[in-house]
Structure 1
């Protein structure tokens, strides 16, 4: 690594960027970032300007020799970068609103990483990530790309399945939230050594053991979650329902909150339909929060990350990203929970899958934790189903073919009607036409 440590953040105008910078400033003594480049697109220019000015004030207050740059020219930013973080939203929050509202208008869950909405977010995002990777391979081939653009699992799967780029790690805030929940509930201090056996796919992870200073404390946790005295929901963007005691005791696993979409599909749909009929969707809530945040960010006296940022669903993403970069840069060989290919380490799933699981992170990237060689058989069926959906979605993103989109829809357990899969595919391709250049020929046919 050079003396200069250059980090490029694509989607730099995101409301999360101040948290990312706070993470770098907090770790400056061991992660001396000398240049942080914030990159965005023309449509995000105003937000980028506001974020850049706030970041400059934060750096000045911290008194560290870090330079913050802003640009709409991605290639200029990427030259000789050491780390690239991706936190982009193709089509911005208006596109997310369509992902949520169109499925709900047909009586299906509308959500930005699952079902029809998650599929279309993937279709818009994967080609853009591939363009970024092409630039990285040309301009900074030794850089690591740390992605926290959703759907993180689908994106990681696509990168390892359809490109030859190997320095790519997907990061999610769900495991971090679960870790913080465990730390709180077990009253752990920084001195305690906490190790978590976590496995599955992005937004579909389960915890099967929790070791504190080498001793399992899983039994007391599962008891609390099963009896309802503890709720493991750590995210702001999912309605908080407890899993039934019978499910938790029979699984003997702690599921992440996104599994509510599969184990409580009826209830979750009822809640979302209620919001939809009242004219609401999560994207609108987020747009309101964003608006308020950017008003705060504009204040020339603000020079820290405001508390209000935690109202967004992605709190701690940035902490996760900074920790991952730190572990690689300083070869920490530390435990993290990330998306990456397990390369045959897990003995009862295909060797070429990208998964989300406990990993050891160092200079060479992520290696599966030696303890986790087997995924729990009880939930393998569900994991296989969602992985088939992710693989097909990544094919569809590249082919631009409506049949591939329909197949992905039909493979999702959240749709369940081939006729509606067809209707949704057509309607959503047309609604997102602007952000689906790969689908130009398909759009032309649909409009005839």
Structure 2
């Protein structure tokens, strides 16, 4: 229950029509003792899609705490007026555009993934104006609001925020490390990732853990890496039947190959797309990608359950569950609201935190979070292998931001050519030209 002695806050969820919205609502409602709320708003420019979720969300809130005001709107002034936190998870173009991001590169034998490779770059160019638009709404109607932005692709979006809105109260985050840390805790025999103390450096979806310690300060990284060299992030005896779908099992297993390239660190599993792109393409179905899985699975499941709740008039017995990524959002909001100085992984300007790396790069590193924002922790120098991989990828992300700012075909072609997932400039050009047609109305006109 809410603590009567604590201030109550108002939040707006930007991207209210997302299938992740009910998970976030459930997490917010489960943590009212930590983050008391007086108002929850949903905001989406697709009122029809948001309307599939809003009646169920209203019931969830009323049954948990009827004192919380609920608003679902497509009007940015209503959404952003008098709010303390914006939880932003917008997807410009929704899943049909994600499907094209994945399938067009696969036609040319290149990684088809929503944040990695050409598809991620295409998504980035679409996402920048949507995120900037929401920042501007926030600054106009609630200038003291914090935006907790986990809109993908997070690295490109963060670079655009750094350039275009450098003084905005935006904190860029990603839930991917939370899933990894849950796996680490399970492998090491702990009930919760929060029982362990982590050190990490890298970029979004592109990094390495350099330390994992137990509550007594004992270093467990060698034990973790030893396990990963044998099993990846799976447990002995597990099979794909133990995962929600085979892609997550394959990803957990592939860590075995990633960690073999540097057994001194535990890698982010997304590195599979950059270090083993040929394997990723070989195991992809160019006619049925992750977007199709989500549309046929998660979308139908969540929208169907929300329709059932709305019809029944109660959320009793619901199959909706709190997602792991939602927990991170509440932790961050609580740290900002109550100055907890919790240490969290954020995507921030390097500014010397990684001593031998581009100071303007948007890096993902531990930060201490309080009421005034975040303070990055010093990482020191990083090894040549990791530094080289990261610098190439940072340049790709910067070139996409250049392409957006300059409406430059050449910069976008350079970004795709430089990507480690693309074999040549010839292939990059073919993919880019097809993506331009697919993204008409979303991308700036490139010339």
The reply to whether TM is greater than 0.5 is yes
Return the offset for 1:254.
0.9
- 1:231/1:208 CA distance change after superposition, 3 Å: farther
From 326, 334, 350, the equivalent of 2:358 is 350
Q: Which residue of 2 aligns with 1:9?
A: 13
Q: Which residue of 2 aligns with 1:363?
A: 371
- Taking the aligned partners of 1:388 and 1:305, their CA distance within structure 2 comes to 49
TM value normalised by structure 2: 0.90
SS in 1 for 2:37: coil
TM value normalised by structure 1: 0.89
From 215, 218, 232, the equivalent of 2:218 is 215
From 18, 23, 27, the equivalent of 1:23 is 27
Q: What are the equivalent positions in structure 2 for 1:48-447 lying under 5 Å apart?
A: 48-63=50-65, 65-189=67-191, 193-213=195-215, 214-228=217-231, 230-231=233-234, 238=248, 239-240=250-251, 241-244=253-256, 247-248=259-260, 250-272=262-284, 275-276=285-286, 279-289=287-297, 290-300=299-309, 301=312, 303=315, 307=319, 315-370=323-378, 372-436=379-443, 438-439=444-445, 442=447
- 1:332/1:269 CA distance change after superposition, 3 Å: same
Check whether the contact 2:343–2:366 (CA below 8 A) recurs between aligned residues.
Answer: yes
- Taking the aligned partners of 1:186 and 1:103, their CA distance within structure 2 comes to 38
Check whether the contact 2:396–2:415 (CA below 8 A) recurs between aligned residues.
Answer: yes
- Taking the aligned partners of 1:348 and 1:229, their CA distance within structure 2 comes to 30
Check whether the contact 1:122–1:397 (CA below 8 A) recurs between aligned residues.
Answer: no
Check whether the contact 2:128–2:157 (CA below 8 A) recurs between aligned residues.
Answer: yes
Check whether the contact 2:305–2:320 (CA below 8 A) recurs between aligned residues.
Answer: no
Return the offset for 1:304.
6.7
Return the offset for 1:284.
0.8
For structure 1, the 5+ residue unaligned runs are 443-448
Deviations 1:183-231 (A, max 9, x none): 2222224697421011100011211110112221111111111122643
CA RMSD, Structure 1 to Structure 2 (Å): 2.4
Return the offset for 1:95.
0.4
Check whether the contact 2:90–2:131 (CA below 8 A) recurs between aligned residues.
Answer: no
- 1:96/1:189 CA distance change after superposition, 3 Å: closer
Q: 340-349 or 380-389, which moves further after superposition?
A: 340-349
Check whether the contact 2:228–2:259 (CA below 8 A) recurs between aligned residues.
Answer: no
Q: Which residue of 2 aligns with 1:446?
A: none
SS in 1 for 2:335: helix
- Taking the aligned partners of 2:75 and 2:353, their CA distance within structure 1 comes to 40
Return the offset for 1:250.
3.6
Return the offset for 1:385.
0.6
Deviations 1:246-267 (A, max 9, x none): 9537441111111111222211
Check whether the contact 1:210–1:217 (CA below 8 A) recurs between aligned residues.
Answer: yes
SS in 2 for 1:416: coil
